[in-house]
Every structure is written in C-alpha cells, then in structure tokens.
Amino acid sequence: MLELKNVHKSFGRNEVLKGVDISVEKGDVVVILGPSGSGKTTLLRSINFLEKADKGTIVFGDIEAKLENASKHDIRAIRKKSAFVFQNYNLFHNRTALQNVTEGLIVARKVPKAEAVEKARKALDKVGLSDRYDYYPSQLSGGQQQRVGIARAIAVNPDVILFDEPTSALDPELIGEVLNVMKELAKEGTTMIVVTHEMTFAQEVANKVIFMDGGVVVEEGPPGEIFTRPKEERTKQFLRRIINDFDYVI
C-alpha cells in the first residue's frame, strides 16, 4: 500500500537519512524504534511532505512520486490519504475539541459543515471524549488533548495514520489512555506507522518493528523476532539499554 525507496535527507552537513527503504501493507501496525537522532521522525514527516526529502521515491496506492520534486497535485493526494498525530498535539488553543476536529475537514477537505460536525462527534466518541466536545485545550489533560489529535486523524478516514511519539509529552499516568485508543484502532485494522519508545505497545500491537540508527534501517521484522532474536549487535545494545528486564535469547 505504501512504500518508500532510497530516502535521503540532510540538514546542512548533517545527513539524517541515508537511503532508507520501508514498505507498509494495508492493516499493518509498523513501529519504528531507535535512539534520538536516528532519523525516525524525519522519515515519518517525509511521508506526507512535512519535511521535503532530498532524494527518494514514494509509492502510495496508485500514486508514485519523487520526494524531492513531487507535484502539488501528488502532495495533496498523498496528504488526503494520510493523517498525522503530533508529539505535542498541535491543537488550536482558541478552538474547542469539536472545532479542532472539524477545522481540517471544512477548510482542507471542503466537507460541508453539518457533515463535518457529525464526523467529528463520531471521532471524539470513538476516543472516549463524548463529554468534551465544547472543551478548549486548556481545559483538557495532556492525554485528552492527544486523544483530540487522534480524533482529528480518524475523522478524515485516512489510509494510514502517522504517529510521531504520541505519548512522549505525557505524564506517565496519562500514557495508558492514549495507548488504549491506539490499540483499539489496531484491532479494527487501521494502518499505522508509529514512532515510539513504548516497548510494550510495540511487542503487543505491532506486526512489524523497524529499528533505525544513524539514518539507516539496521534491522526489521516481526516483534517476536526483534525482541527475542535480534540479529544485529546494535539492536541488542539498544534493547538492553531501553528494557531493564530484557530477556531475549542471544
């Protein structure tokens, strides 16, 4: 359904992505792991052109485009097929939860207002915020704000949802409510690419884990293999450092 080929990206002299290839099938939950600076978020943002890659190809359904010079038409089409959930929520502070969800539907996708409101309510209901339609972000916890962000993504009915460390800005006690919503989406067959350090989520929910370091894919495979029988020494080092009770066989 979605494929990235030979993706390169530099910021000045810092080469962040060094020829990355990934492929995602419909219904996949792909978790991208790696240390800070490994290129995970840059790769994710390159998919819907929040970052413009220097080189590479994207194939998304019936669209194939060069990342460095994709047409405005192709960029719009790819963005319509995807939705992004940001690390720091990216909500409009002067809009209610309902308005934050309807905004993109009405402005970017030209959905009639009544239809947009209906879609927004259904999406907020789905993430457990049926009693928070008229609340502003300042009246919501971090976990609730992130769930509004997820509702905003759900409402556009995308082919894939891109999650950029969706729990990293949350207090520990709020992480579970966001992960539970994501788990329910996975059960329903939602295609997701998730940059995260939540190892339990990766083990329980993902069907593919990608480990990146230094701007390249070091290793990828099913979580059962990556977490129990990693082949690469760099993967083993990372997992030892992240998971205190790491007990894979090596």
Query: Based on the structure, what is the number of domains in the chain?
Result: 1
Q: Is residue 198 part of a domain?
A: yes
54-95 pLDDT tens trace: 999 999 999 999 999 999 999 999 999 999 999 999 999 999
Structure confidence at residue 244 (pLDDT): 61
CA separation for the pair 35, 10 (Å, rounded): 18
Pairing relation of β-strands 192-195 and 160-164? parallel
Q: Are 98 and 109 in contact (CB under 8 A)?
A: no
DSSP bridge pairs for 23: 3
Q: Are 217 and 54 in contact (CB under 8 A)?
A: no
Q: Is residue 44 part of a domain?
A: yes
Structure confidence at residue 246 (pLDDT): 47
Under DSSP, is residue 97 helix (H, G, I), strand (E, B) or coil?
helix
Q: Is residue 154 part of a domain?
A: no
Q: Is residue 171 part of a domain?
A: yes
Structure confidence at residue 242 (pLDDT): 81
> Cα 244 to chain center, whole Å?
26
CB atoms within 10 A of CB 244: 6
Q: Which two tokens stand for residue 214?
A: 């230094």
Q: Which two tokens stand for residue 56?
A: 């590479």
pTM for the model stands at 0.94
The CATH number that applies at residue 76 is 3.40.50.300
Structure confidence at residue 250 (pLDDT): 42
Q: Is residue 214 part of a domain?
A: yes
Pairing relation of β-strands 216-221 and 208-213? antiparallel
Residues (pLDDT < 70) of the chain are: 244-250
Task: Give residue 82's domain range.
Answer: 12-91+162-245
CA separation for the pair 24, 160 (Å, rounded): 9
CA-derived radius of gyration, the chain: 18
Q: Is residue 117 part of a domain?
A: no
Q: What angle do CA 156, 161, 162 make, to 5 degrees?
A: 130
Nearest C-alpha neighbor of 53 from the set 81, 82, 75: 75
CB atoms within 10 A of CB 188: 9
Sheet holding 63-66, edge to edge: 14-24, 2-11, 55-60, 63-66
